Chain A
Amino acid sequence: MATVEKTKSVEKQKSDVVLNYFRPRKKLPSVWCAGCGNGIVMSALIRAIDKLGYSKDEVAMVSGIGCTSRMPIYLDFSALHTTHGRALAFATGIKFAKPHMKVIVITGDGDCLAIGGNHFIHACRRNIDITAILINNHIYGMTGGQGSPTTPSGSISTTTPYGNVEKNFDPCKLAEAAGASFVARGTVYHTPQLEKAITKALDHNGFSLVEVISNCHTYYGRLNRRGDAVSMLNAFKENSVTTAKAKKLSPEEMEGKFLIGTLHEDDRTEFCDEYQKVVDAHMGEK
Chain B
Amino acid sequence: MEHKLLDKIEVPHDRFEIRLSGSGGQGMILGSVILAEAIGVDYSKNVVQTQSYGPEARGGASKADVVVSTNEIYYPKAMQLDMLLCMTQESMDRYYADLHKDGVLIVDSGLVKNVPTETYYALPFTKIAREEAGHVMVANVVALGAIAAFTGIVSKEDLIDAVLKRAPRGTEEKNRTAVEIGYAEAMKVKKDPSRRAED
Query: Is chain B in direct contact with chain A in the complex (CB below 8 A)?
Result: no
